[in-house]
Amino acid sequence: MADDATSGPGMPQLDLTTFSNQIFWLVVTMVVLYFIMSRVALPRIAAVLADRRGTITSDIAAAEDFKLKAQEAEAAYNQALADARTEANRIVEAAKAEMQAELDVQLTKANAEIAARSAESERHIAEIRDNALAMVTDVSNDVTKEILTAFDVKADARSVTAAVSARLKGGAA
């Protein structure tokens, strides 16, 4: 493509007549941009970043603190729980021991009563048996006397009694 007179050289980049203009405006631009960045933008962002870092650090510290407190509370709770359990066990043990003692006393008393009653009963039974035996002896004596009277056999009371008791003893043996 041919350049006409107005468009200058093929590459506008090599048109030296515009260099001073570009360089002047570039210097102005860079100075302005540098002051905006270094005086306003960068300190502001640095402050924001530092603020955030501070906030995060303090938040983490606070969280750590809360965690510690929570752990303490949990330990206290567990301690209380353990204490309560021990106390409960102690009470249960005490109650059990008390009940056992009471039971033992009652049991002993009951056993003694049972023993006393059975002894009484045995005594009573023995009495009845003795009575019955005595009655049997008396009846035997009377019946023997009556029979001897009926057969007109003369016998004194003493020998009859001795014979009957000997007979009863022999029968029993």
Partner 1 sequence: MLPCVIRVRKKGTRPVADESGGLSIRPMDQFEVKALFGGDIAWYTPTNVTLWMALTVLAATALMVLGARRRAIIPSRGQSAAEMAYGFIYKMVEDVAGHDAVRFFPHVFTLFMFVLFANLLGLIPFAFTTTSHIAVTAVLALTVFLSVTALGFILNGTKFLGLFWVSSAPLALRPILALIELISYFARPISHSIRLAGAMMAGHAVAKVFAGFASALGAIFFVPVLAVTALYALELLVAVIQAYVFTILTCVYLRDALHPSH
Binding stretches for partner 1 (CB under 8 A): 1, 7-8, 10-15, 17-30, 32-34, 36-38, 40-42, 44-49, 51-52, 55
Tell me how far, at minimum, the Cβ of 41 lies from partner 1, in Å: 4
Tell me how far, at minimum, the Cβ of 84 lies from partner 1, in Å: 45
Instruction: Considering the complex, state which of residue 6 and residue 159 has its C-beta at the smaller distance from partner 1.
Output: 6
What the block records as the tokens of 73 is 């509370």
Residues whose CB is less than 8 angstroms from the CB of residue 102 and which lie 6 or more positions away in sequence, other chains included: none
CA 57 – CA 63 distance, rounded (Å):
10
Tell me how far, at minimum, the Cβ of 68 lies from partner 1, in Å: 25
Instruction: Considering the complex, state which of residue 20 and residue 159 has its C-beta at the smaller distance from partner 1.
Output: 20
173: helix, coil or strand? coil
Instruction: Considering the complex, state which of residue 32 and residue 101 has its C-beta at the smaller distance from partner 1.
Output: 32
What the block records as the tokens of 167 is 């007979």
Instruction: Considering the complex, state which of residue 56 and residue 119 has its C-beta at the smaller distance from partner 1.
Output: 56
CA 159 – CA 166 distance, rounded (Å):
10
Tell me how far, at minimum, the Cβ of 5 lies from partner 1, in Å: 14
User: 2 φ, ψ to 5°?
Assistant: -85, 140
| AA letter at 44 | R
